[in-house]
Amino acid sequence: MFKGSNVALITPFKNDKLDDETYIKLIHFHIDNGTNGLVPAGTTGESPTLSHSEHERVIELCVKESKGKLPVFAGTGSNSTEEAISLTKHAEKIGANGALVVTPYYNKPTQEGLFQHYKAINDKCGIPIIIYNIPGRSVIDMSVETMARLYELKNIIGVKDATGDLNRVDQTLKKLGKDFLQLTGNDENALEFNKKGGEGAISVTANIAPKLCSEFQKVSNLKNVSANPEEAERLDQILQPLHEAMFVESNPSPVKYAAKILDLCDDTVRLPLVKVTDTTKDIIQKTLKAAKLV
């Protein structure tokens, strides 16, 4: 259901308010350009600074506008278990296909705390849940053993792995089996991730290069009959500078600036994030030209 190139959608703002019209255009841009799945209200969507009503609105618009053409896995995580349950129940109610739930940041729960957090969400909801393991932002790292315990629950189906550790793919595959969905959260390691048994990405770069990212995923997924290692290598070489440029400064400031160049949305971000520097602008402009996106 949720393999290939899945975009971690940016959230456009206008006068510091959610820009519904532009957001709807972004959704249709991805429907028309090969993206395989939509992830609204994640970190790239600036979920930490969305109000509860905005968070719900972003997911509702995504579900409504995609009209079943693309699966929607809504970002519903929180470091408050009750809040994560509430957001996930709302996503389920309005028709999202699943939820992406980040490990609780700041609280620093133990592995047992992580298990109980996800179990509580699982027990109160009825849609598929993808674990989002990103120790670089949340400080904690979910172990493969804890994921294996969670996989025994009815709704836990996979992981967005943003550890950057490619050995995790092998370890997870060995412990949980091939049916446990592994997606990378690191654009730059997508090729090697798929070679080891991963089945796609939740991508920042896909915001600005959906066709490239989708085609890359199609030919790099070894379980796909269209897999073409040589073409995958060629596309990866085109994409690598883009991946790097999207993280020259804190995400999503660079990708929003790139989106502005491509006339997709404004580059406004909410504090404490700020717009990128002139030096970074120059890097992004050159990278977009090199990839023939402008």
Active site residue: 3, 23, 118, 132, which one? 132
Give the side-chain half-sphere CA count within 13 A for 13. Answer: 21
Q: Is 132 a catalytic site residue?
A: yes
pLDDT surpasses 80 at 3 = yes
pLDDT at position 225, please? 73
Q: Which one is catalytic: 3, 160, 260, 281?
A: 160
pLDDT at 104: 97
Q: Are 101 and 93 in contact (CB under 8 A)?
A: no
Minimum mean pLDDT range among 96-100, 220-224, 252-256, 268-272: 220-224
User: For the segment 36-46, what is each residue's pLDDT rounded down to a tens digit?
Assistant: 999 999 999 99
Mean pLDDT value of segment 53-79: 97
Provide CB contacts within 8 A for 28, sequence distance 6+. Answer: 65
- Total-model pTM: 0.96
Q: What is the pLDDT of residue 108?
A: 96
pLDDT tens digits, residue range 227-243? 899 999 999 999 999 99
Domains of the chain plus CATH, in order, are 4-229 (3.20.20.70)
pLDDT mean over 203-224: 95
Residue 154 predicted with pLDDT over 90: yes
Q: What is the pLDDT of residue 223?
A: 82
According to DSSP, the β-strands at 73-75 and 17-18 are unpaired
Predicted pLDDT at 222: 81
Query: What whole-number distance in Å separates Cα of residue 209 and Cα of residue 204?
Result: 9
pLDDT of residue 221: 87
With a cut of 80, say whether residue 134 has pLDDT above it. Answer: yes
* 110 burial via Cβ count (<10 Å: 0-12, 13-18, 19+): exposed
Calculate mean pLDDT across residues 270-275: 98
Q: How much of the chain, in percent, has pLDDT values that exceed 90?
A: 97
